[in-house]
Structure 1
Amino acid sequence: MTFRPQTIQIFLPSGDPRGIRVAEITTRIVQAIDVPRSRISEFLEMRESERLSLYILVGEADDGSGNLAYIGQSGDLRKRLAAHNNEKDFWQRALVLSTRTESLTQTHALFLENLLIQEAKNAGRYRTDNCNGGTRPHAPAPLAADCLEIFDTGRTLVASLGVPLFERLGNRESVEKAQALLFCKRSNTAASGYYTDEGFVVLRGSIGKAEIGKGFQSHSFARLRDELLQQKKISIQDGVLVFDQDVLFTSPSGASAVVCGTACNGWLDWKDQRGITLHELKRKDEIDQAARILRAAA
C-alpha cells in the first residue's frame, strides 16, 4: 500500500477526548465514529446512528487468545448495536463507518461488509467473530470502485483511531527486497524479522528456544511468551519454539527475549546480514544527530 500525506479531522461531540470521536479526511465524505461501549446510549441519540452503516466491534477475547473483532452492516444501527450490547461480551469499542452524504445503498453495505471481513482476515491482527464472510452481491464496476475508495478511506481512519485492523504486518519478500531483514542467531535459535514504526515483527517460521532460564520465569516477557503460546501464535514442536505466524512485539528486546528464552537486549541481538546491530542501524545515527542539533543550538 502506497501512503501519501493526508489531513484527518477529529471532532469530539462531548468535548471529552475519551468519549465519542468522529474522524474524517477533510476532502472526503466518509466518516469513522469511535464509540466506547460505555457511551452507546449517547451515540444512539445522535443523528449519525440513523444512517445505513458498517460497524466494527473490537475488544479482547474472553479466553485471552488475543484481539477480536466483529464486522457487520445495518440499516437499523440503533437496534443492532443495542442487541450486540446485550448479547456480545467481548467488545469495548464500536467503530461505525458511514458517509456524511448518506449515499450508501444496501448493495454498498453488503459489498463492503464482505470486503472488510476478508481484509481483516488477510491482515491477521485480529480474530474475526463472524460466523461467515458475508455475502458479496453482484456490483456494477462503478459501484465496486466506489466501495474500494470507501474502504481505502475507512481503513486509514480506523487505523488513525488506534485500531489497525486492516493493516498487514508485511511479508518476507517485501522486507528482503528492501534489504531490511534482521536475524537473531544465538545458540539454538534461527529467527528473522524487521523493525517497524509499531515495534518489531518476528516472521513466521522463526525458530527459538523451547526452554527458558530459571531467572526468566517471572519476567514480563516470559508472561508474554505464555500468552503467545495460548494464542497459538507460537508453539513447541520437536523440542524447539516455532513461530506459527508473524508476531508484532512492542520492542526489539521483547522479540529477542521470547526467541531466546531469557532477558536480553534486542537492539544488540538483532543484526542484518552483515552483522550490524539494530542499534547501529537505527539508534546510533539518530542519537548522534540529536547531539549535533543540541550542540548547534547551545
Structure 2
Amino acid sequence: MIDLKTLTMQVINGDADGIKICRIAGSTLVTIVIPRELLSEAKGLPEIPKRGIYYLLDDNKGRLKRVYAGQTVQGIQRLDDHNQRKDWWNKAVMFLAPDTEFSMDVVSGLESIAIKYIKEHGAYEVENTNDPKPYISPYNEAFIHALHDDILFRMALLGFGLDAVGDDSPGASSQIFHTLRRGVRGLGRYNAVEGSFDVLPGSKIDLGTLAGTKLHPNAKLESLRRKLVDSGELAPTGEGLHELGCTLHFDSPSAAAVFVLGGSCNGWTEWVDESGRTLSFVYRDSRTD
C-alpha cells in the first residue's frame, strides 16, 4: 500500500515568488507563505484562520540564516508588529487553523515545541530569547506533537527545512572562537561580511563583572543580561558564572566580548581559536601578510 498525502497550493497572482496558500487533504491547517514586501496584500486575503504559529525567516533561496518562531491569535495581522520592530526577516510562513480546532492551550504548546526544536536543530541563528514552558494537557500532547510533525513536513516540502544547514555565504564562518580571560569560556562565530559576532549557546557569562566601567557602565548590555536572566536564557552554573541558552547577535566582536566578560574589552584580541590565534590574527594580520 502506498501512503499518500495530497498537497494543494494556490499561488496568488500567479507569482512563483509571491504569496502561497497550501493545504493538505483531510487537514484544516492552512499554510501561508508571505514575502515581507507583500504583507499588505496578504492581509487582504479572505477567510484566513486566526490561530496558530508562524516562522519569520531570513531566507536565501532555502538557505536559512535566521529563524524566529511565535504564536498568533490575530492571523496575518500579527506580522504588523514584526514588520515595524524586526528588520532582518524577508519571509514569513504561517500555520493557521479555525478557533474551534486550536484552543489556546494547543497554540501555546505548539509554540513551545516549535521554539525548542529550532534551538536544537539547524545551523541558523535563532532569534527567540524566551523559552516558554506552558502546561500541556496529556490529552492534547499527542495531538500537538502530531501537528508539529506535520508543520516540519510542510516546511520541508516548501524548501525551508528547519533541520537543514544554515547560510553558507563567504562571510558566515563556521569557525568557533572562545574567550580565555579569568577562565570564562564564551563561544562565538565571526561574520566577516557584516563585521558582526554571534555568541553561541553554551557560552559561560561572567555576570559578576559589570559590562563597561564603573564610571561608564554599558547600560544596554547590562539590560540585556538582566532580561536574559529573567527569561531563563542565562542560568547559573554553580561556579559563579551563568550559561547562555540561545544565540545572541552583536554588531562587533568587542560588544560580544564585553557581554561575556564584562569590563572594557577589545574583542579582536579577546576572541581566540583553538590554536590560540586571536580573531585579529585570523581576519586581519594573516590576511594582510
Q: Which of 154, 171, 174 in structure 2 is aligned with 1:228? A: 174
- Specify the alignment match of 1:124 in structure 2: 122
Q: Which of 154, 159, 167 in structure 2 is aligned with 1:157? A: 154
Q: Which of 138, 143, 148 in structure 2 is aligned with 1:146? A: 143
- Specify the alignment match of 1:177 in structure 2: none
SS of the residue 1:45 aligns to: coil
Cα separation, 2, equivalents of 1:226 and 1:92: 18
Question: 1:41: Cα distance to partner?
Answer: 0.7
TM-score (norm: length of structure 1): 0.53
TM-score (norm: length of structure 2): 0.54
Is residue 122–residue 168 contact of structure 1 (8 Å, CA) maintained in 2?
no
Identity fraction in percent: 23
Q: Which has the higher helix share?
A: 1
Given the superposition, is the C-alpha separation of residues 91 and 49 from structure 1 closer, same or farther in structure 2, using an over 3 Å criterion?
A: farther
Given the superposition, is the C-alpha separation of residues 143 and 237 from structure 1 closer, same or farther in structure 2, using an over 3 Å criterion?
A: same
CA RMSD, Structure 1 to Structure 2 (Å) = 3.1
Cα separation, 2, equivalents of 1:99 and 1:123: 26
Question: Where in structure 2 are the equivalents of 1:90-129 lying within 5 Å?
Answer: 90-99=88-97, 103-129=101-127
- Specify the alignment match of 1:41 in structure 2: 40
| Cα deviation code 1:188-214 (max 9, x no counterpart) | xxxxxxxxxxxxx9xxxxxxxxxxxxx
Is residue 30–residue 153 contact of structure 1 (8 Å, CA) maintained in 2?
no
Where in structure 1 are there 5+ consecutive unaligned residues? 170-200, 202-220, 241-298
| Cα deviation code 1:147-174 (max 9, x no counterpart) | 1111111111111111111x267xxxxx
- Specify the alignment match of 1:137 in structure 2: 134
Question: 1:105: Cα distance to partner?
Answer: 1.3
Deviates more, 1:136-145 or 1:37-46: 136-145
Instruction: State the 4+ residue runs in structure 1 displaced beyond 6 angstroms.
Output: none
Deviates more, 1:41-50 or 1:144-153: 41-50
Question: Where in structure 2 are the equivalents of 1:253-264 lying within 5 Å?
Answer: none
SS of the residue 1:227 aligns to: coil
Q: Does 1:26 align with 2:28?
A: no
Given the superposition, is the C-alpha separation of residues 28 and 226 from structure 1 closer, same or farther in structure 2, using an over 3 Å criterion?
A: closer
Given the superposition, is the C-alpha separation of residues 24 and 100 from structure 1 closer, same or farther in structure 2, using an over 3 Å criterion?
A: farther
Question: Where in structure 2 are the equivalents of 1:146-185 lying within 5 Å?
Answer: 146-165=143-162, 167=163
What residue identity is the alignment partner of 1:69? V
The alignment of Structure 1 onto Structure 2 pairs a total of residues equal to 179
Where in structure 2 are there 5+ consecutive unaligned residues? 176-189, 192-197, 201-271, 278-289
Cα separation, 2, equivalents of 1:124 and 1:226: 14
What residue identity is the alignment partner of 2:37? S
Question: Where in structure 2 are the equivalents of 1:66-85 lying within 5 Å?
Answer: 67-85=65-83
Cα separation, 1, equivalents of 2:59 and 2:173: 13
Cα separation, 2, equivalents of 1:35 and 1:108: 23
Cα separation, 2, equivalents of 1:56 and 1:48: 21
